Structure 1
C-alpha cells in the first residue's frame, strides 16, 4: 500500500467486507512500519479518487490523510488533535448507516483521540475551573479542547445508545459502556456533574436491551469505570446504599484480578467508609496487609478513632487527609461518621458509669458524665451542658439511642432493655 489509489482500495475493501480490524488499521494514527510517513505524503484526494468509497466515508479518508500530515510532516500536536477529532466525527456520521462492526474502528479512533488530548494537555494545561460555567454545547465562548473531546464522545455515545436494532448481538449498543465510561470520566474532569447525571439517566431510560457488563473484557473494564464514577454521583446525593452497591458490583466484575490492582484500591478507598456507615462487614484482617495505605488511613487511624470514640484522633486525621476526602467526594460521609464516633464514646461512657454505679437506677446518666468524657476524648475544653444535650438529642432522634432526655434534671433516661440498638 504505497500509493493513494491502493490505500483507498484497501479502505473500500474493508468497508465492503465489514472488516473491522482492517478499517481500524486504515484509520490508525500509528499503523506501524513506514505506513504513517508514507500516507502523510499522499496528495489530497479529489472526488474522482474517492468515487469508489461510500459518500459518508469520503470525509473519513480526507480527515485521516490530513491527520497523517499533521503528525508526520507538521509534527503539530494541536493540529493532530483537531484533525483526529474531525476524523472521529466523520466516522460517527458514517457509522449511522452501519451495524456494530463499525464499533471497533470507532473505539480505537476515540482511544487515540484521548491519547492525543493527554499529550496536548501536558504541553498546554487547561484551566478546568473556567469550564464549569460554560455549556458544553451551544456556547458562544471558544470551545476548549476538553469540551470538544466531550462533544465528540457524547455524539459517539448517542450513536450507540440510539441504535434501534432489536438484536443485541448485531447492535452498536454492544459497546455502549466504552463511550459511557469515557464520557462520564470527562464530565467529572470538567466538574460538570449534572451532565454526568444526564447520561446516566439516558442509559437507564432506554427501552432497548443493553449488554451484560461482564460480556467482554472491554465491557468489564469500561463498566468498572462507569460504576465507580456513578457511585460518586450517588455519594454526592447522600444515597449511600446505592453508592455502596455500585462499588460492590464493580468489585464483583474485577473478581480474579490481582488483589493489589490499583483500580481495586481506588474502589476500596470509597467503599470502606461506606461500609462502616451502612453497618456492613469491612475487610478481613488478612486483607488489610495487601493495602498498606488504606490500613494506615482507615484501620490504624480513622476507624480506630471512631470505634474508640477518640474525637481528638478523628479530628486530626480528618484534617490530615482532608484533601484526599475532598478529592474523592468523601468529606461529607466522613463528617457523618463523626456521629458514630460520638455514639461509641457515649456507649463507652455509659458502660463505665453503670460499672461504677451498680444500682437499679444506673440507666439514668447525668449530662456531666458525658461532658467529662467529651473533654477527655477531644483533648480540649469541657463542652457546655447544652452542647452535650444537643448531641444526645440527635442520637435519640435518629434512633441511635433509645431513651429520653430530662432537661430539668440534666440527665438522660436510657432504655433498660436496649439503650443502644445500633
Structure 2
C-alpha cells in the first residue's frame, strides 16, 4: 500500500500585516524555539523591511544560526516595521525583545553586547513612549511598562544604577501622558505587573533609600503575586519578601507575620527569610544591639549582595532606639526628665574601666544625638553633666517605638 505523503501546513504571514492582528501562530513564527513541525511560512508582500525580517527570523529557527547578533538584528528590523503600525504589534514586538534578552542573559553575553541589546530594546520602548496616535485604542503607549520591565532586568544584570535611574525619571516625567498600569498591556499579564512593582520597589529602596515609596511598590507586587503554584510570580516571592520585610520595618515599623509567611512560602524560602530576619526582628523588639551587630557581621556579604547594607544600618538605629526606650521605661523614675547616661549602659558595659567607660558614654551621646536629630527622641543632651533631658510629654513618640 503506498505511503501517504504528509502535507505541510502553510501559514500566510501577509494576512497579519494586512489585517493588523496577531494570534498564536504568528507568535510561533516570531519565536525561534516554537514553531509547528514542518510548517511553511509564506510572505509575498513587496516590502523590503518585511522580507529582511522574514529572512532573519527563519535563520534564527535553524539552531546552527541562532546567535545573539541575529536575534538583535531581528528586533532591530521589527522596530523599523513597528514604526508604521498601531498597537496590535506591541505584544509581538515584546515577544521578540524578550527572547533577545533571554538569549543574551542565558549565553552570558559580554558587557558590550548586553549594552547593544539594551539600546535596541530601548528603541522598542521609545516607539511606544513617543506614539502620538490620538486614538487611544490604537496607541502603542500601552506597551511602555512591559518594555520598561525588560530594561530593568537588563540594567539589574549589568548593575547599571545610572541607566535604571534614567529610565525611572523618564517614566516619572511622562507619567501624565502614559495610561495607568491597570489599563496597559502589562495588566493583561499579571507577572508583568509584579515585575514592574518589584523593580520600582528595589530602585526606591536600594538606590534612593526612599523606603515609603519602596514599600508601596513592593507591597503591591506581593499582593499581586500568586500565593501558590510554580508560576514565575510565585518564584519571585523570595526576592519580593527579601526587600519588603526590611523596607516595611523602616517605612512604617511593620514587623513580619511569620505564621502568614510560612503559609504562603515554600519551606526553603520561609527558612531562609527566618534565618536572615528572625534575629533582626527579635533585636528590634528587645533592643539587643550586640546581638544585632553580630548577626549583621555574619551575613554582611549577603546583605551587600542584595543591596540591603544601608537598610540594615538604618535598622540598627531602631535597635538603639528600642534599647534607649527600654532602659528609660524600666530603669528610671519616669517622674523626672533628667536621665543620666549611665542608665543606658547595660550588661557588660557597666563593668568597664574608667577610660573605656568614658568612650562608651561618648558613643552613647552620638547615638542619642542621632535619635534626637531624627525626631525619635524629644529632648536635649548635656555633655558636661553626662545626661539627657527628656521632654516631659511623650519623650519617645509612639510612632518611633
**Structure 1: 5+ residue runs without aligned partners?**
40-48, 132-143
RMSD: 3.0
Number of the residue aligned with 1:401: 377
Q: Distance in 1 between matches of 2:229 and 2:58?
A: 44
Matched, 1:166 2:134: yes
Aligned pairs for 1:96-111 within 5 A: 96-111=83-98
Matched, 1:270 2:243: yes
Q: Distance in 2 between matches of 1:329 and 1:28?
A: 35
Q: Deviations over 1:349-399 (max 9, x none)?
A: 223322xxx5854x3222223234582799xx7543222222222222222
Compared with structure 1, are the counterparts of its residues 373 and 218 closer, same or farther at alpha carbon in structure 2 (3 Å cutoff)? farther
Equivalent residue of 2:366, what SS? Answer: helix
Q: Deviations over 1:126-173 (max 9, x none)?
A: 4xxxx5xxxxxxxxxxxx221122112111111111111233332222
Matched, 1:227 2:190: no
Q: Distance in 2 between matches of 1:241 and 1:359?
A: 33
Q: Distance in 2 between matches of 1:211 and 1:55?
A: 37
Aligned pairs for 1:158-197 within 5 A: 158-197=126-165
Matched, 1:316 2:291: no
Compared with structure 1, are the counterparts of its residues 182 and 293 closer, same or farther at alpha carbon in structure 2 (3 Å cutoff)? same
Aligned pairs for 1:81-100 within 5 A: 81-100=68-87
Do the aligned partners of 1:404 and 1:413 also contact (CA within 8 Å) in 2? yes
Aligned pairs for 1:203-352 within 5 A: 203-206=171-174, 207-213=176-182, 218-235=188-205, 236-254=207-225, 257-258=227-228, 261-290=234-263, 291-298=270-277, 300-352=278-330
**Structure 2: 5+ residue runs without aligned partners?**
1-5, 264-269
Equivalent residue of 2:61, what SS? Answer: helix
Question: Following TM superposition, by how much is the alpha carbon of 1:30 offset from its aligned partner in structure 2, in angstroms?
Answer: 2.9
Question: Following TM superposition, by how much is the alpha carbon of 1:113 offset from its aligned partner in structure 2, in angstroms?
Answer: 1.8
Number of the residue aligned with 1:18: 20
Equivalent residue of 2:381, what SS? Answer: strand
Do the aligned partners of 2:287 and 2:323 also contact (CA within 8 Å) in 1? yes
Do the aligned partners of 2:101 and 2:154 also contact (CA within 8 Å) in 1? no
Bigger drift between 95-104 and 53-62 goes to 53-62
Q: Distance in 1 between matches of 2:350 and 2:118?
A: 52
Compared with structure 1, are the counterparts of its residues 342 and 175 closer, same or farther at alpha carbon in structure 2 (3 Å cutoff)? same
Question: Following TM superposition, by how much is the alpha carbon of 1:31 offset from its aligned partner in structure 2, in angstroms?
Answer: 4.0
TM-score, normalising length: structure 2: 0.83
Do the aligned partners of 1:161 and 1:176 also contact (CA within 8 Å) in 2? yes
Question: Following TM superposition, by how much is the alpha carbon of 1:33 offset from its aligned partner in structure 2, in angstroms?
Answer: 4.5
Bigger drift between 328-337 and 209-218 goes to 209-218
Compared with structure 1, are the counterparts of its residues 199 and 359 closer, same or farther at alpha carbon in structure 2 (3 Å cutoff)? closer
2:390 to 409, 414, 417: 414
Compared with structure 1, are the counterparts of its residues 270 and 214 closer, same or farther at alpha carbon in structure 2 (3 Å cutoff)? farther
Equivalent residue of 2:12, what SS? Answer: helix
Q: Distance in 2 between matches of 1:64 and 1:359?
A: 77
Equivalent residue of 2:182, what SS? Answer: coil
